[in-house]
Structure 1
Amino acid sequence: MSATLGLRTLLRKEILRFWKVTFQTIAAPVLTAVLYLLIFGHVLEGRLEVHGLAYGTFLLPGLVMMSVLQNAFANSSSSLIQSKVTGNLVFLLLTPLDARAWFLAYVGAAVVRGLAVGLGVGLVALWFVPWQGLQPASLPWALAFGLLGAALMGALGLIAGLWADKFDQLAAFQNFLVMPMTMLAGVFYSVDGLPPFWKAASHLNPFFFMVDGFRHGFFGVSDTPPWLSLGIVAVALAGVSALTIRLLASGYKIRH
């Protein structure tokens, strides 16, 4: 019972950490995504169709998923590195919580923030782009990819937070790994239109399968079979989660 209470307390603390500054953690990412939509959607609307969809309509789920992934990563990574730099991580180390409780609390809060930002992007974007061709029967696919993708990025954020010793190292991880992989994951285009080499290279990017599967949930169209994408994302989540829990249990860069 005490372990469950500790987990709930840590999860609540992590959610409140970003919820108290929603203008920065929720509103700002929503504004950034909507600006992408307005700029790219406005310029190419009526000039380009992808999978039979107007470009702005095709773009919208990709931007939602990109926002989910980036903000889930940012939440867990920034929380852990902030605790390390300020020195208050020692108070968490004194608790009887094990590595799995840490993992569930940090990743759980990352999922909440990621989905909150994604929902905000979707709701605000409805004022500008109608989701034509939306298939409500496929929404469980969108939810599955949203949850798995956010959890994967939350776990990856924990690894980045454990590895980094200062904020600029964390920024390098985000700017040179997370940002390029999300931007090149088919958010703004269909990989079917790429040359063979770049199309094959895109299939080496696990972020692509998250975005592609999420888009399938809204329009029933995708560049790869959704079950294949779901399997790849699930395997990636299992592998990253196992590594994260092992690093937490060993005290990597937090106990030694």
Structure 2
Amino acid sequence: MDTRPTEMAASIARSMGVRRFGRVNWIGLWSLCEREVRRFLAVWTQTLAAPLITAALFLAVFSLALGPTRGEVMGVPFVQFLAPGILMMTVIQNAFANTSSSIMVSKVQGNIIDTLMPPLSPIELVLGYLVGGVARGLLVAVAVALPMALLLGVGLANPGWALVFVLLGSAFLGALGVLAGIVAHKFDHMAAITNFIITPLSFLSGTFYSVESVPPLMQTILHWNPVFYLIDGVRYGMIGQSDSSPWLGLVVVSLATLAATALCWHWFRTGYRLKS
């Protein structure tokens, strides 16, 4: 039997980027997603319970120190104004930690090759890591939001907006975590990135104050910080008030997430600091 037509068709398919299991390796992508989710669920006391305790401590300290004397902010009690910012700050920090630690640990232990060798395309690798970060961000959001609703009476004025910004925030910081994990060579480098970039972005983003209460220069800086729009968007979703339009925040955060994800794809495609 003449097999030349079959071989020619296979050659053309390879040249067009069609793999033998299809354009998307669903089995491989699902396996990577499952690994990333199982990785943080295995240590749920550290990845889910600890953020809840941290958020509760923030709220307790601020409510005890400022709550009795601070007036309303945006028409709601200060603690209720503070709650969405604490929630979102906790979400994005954990999404970043999930993806950055996954890549960093794999690089240090020398088993990153186990992720790079399977037939996964760069975009599949990016999506696999981001799913882990987004899943952890969502679970942390639920774990923090439920006690806030029960104890503080903070509900969801616009649940759709709250969900959108939690998802975008988890994806954006998850992508930044992938970039940080690729760039860092050791845990000291990762600690420096977290302390000098991620933590300032989180704290200087309107988490603890309204943009109207800061000097004009600080207002300008805040509006150039994508995390500000994440905090503001979730605040709009929870208490129905915000410093800026949620639509503007949606555009800014979407573009920032797209840019960070595109850079992740490029670095996986070229093997930057991964294959050398």
> What TM-score range do you get, normalising by the shorter chain?
over 0.9
Instruction: Tell me which of 84, 87, 90 is aligned to 2:113.
Output: 90
Q: What is aligned with 2:174?
A: 154
Q: What is aligned with 2:49?
A: 27
Between structure 1 and structure 2, the one with the greater Rg is 2
Q: What is aligned with 2:141?
A: 118
Instruction: Tell me which of 201, 204, 210 is aligned to 1:184.
Output: 204
**TM-score, normalised to structure 1's length?**
0.96
Gaps of 5+ in 2: 1-20
2:72 pairs with 1:52? no
| Deviation per residue, 1:39-98 (Å, 9 max, x gap) | 102322242211011011111111110011000000000000000000111112221111
Q: What is aligned with 1:234?
A: 254
Give the AA of the match of 1:146: V
CA-CA distance at 1:130 after TM superposition: 1.5
Q: What is aligned with 1:128?
A: 151
Check the 8 A contact 1:30/1:121 in 2, yes or no: yes
CA-CA distance at 1:204 after TM superposition: 1.3
| Deviation per residue, 1:226-254 (Å, 9 max, x gap) | 11111000111111111110011100111
| Deviation per residue, 1:149-178 (Å, 9 max, x gap) | 110000000000000010110111011100
Check the 8 A contact 2:148/2:154 in 1, yes or no: no
Q: What is aligned with 1:243?
A: 263
Check the 8 A contact 2:100/2:179 in 1, yes or no: yes
Q: What is aligned with 2:62?
A: 40
Mapped partners of 2:160, 2:148: distance in 1: 21
Q: What is aligned with 1:12?
A: 34
2:224 pairs with 1:201? no
Check the 8 A contact 1:185/1:208 in 2, yes or no: yes
Mapped partners of 1:107, 1:180: distance in 2: 22
Q: Aligned pairs, how many?
A: 253
Give the AA of the match of 2:102: S
CA-CA distance at 1:125 after TM superposition: 3.0
**TM-score, normalised to structure 2's length?**
0.89
Mapped partners of 2:148, 2:169: distance in 1: 21
Mapped partners of 2:150, 2:236: distance in 1: 22
Give the AA of the match of 2:200: P
RMSD: 1.2
Mapped partners of 1:94, 1:87: distance in 2: 13
Give the AA of the match of 1:128: L
Any idea what SS the aligned residue of 1:115 has? helix
CA-CA distance at 1:194 after TM superposition: 0.8
Gaps of 5+ in 1: none
Mapped partners of 1:239, 1:93: distance in 2: 22
Check the 8 A contact 2:134/2:170 in 1, yes or no: yes
Check the 8 A contact 2:235/2:241 in 1, yes or no: yes
2:128 pairs with 1:108? no
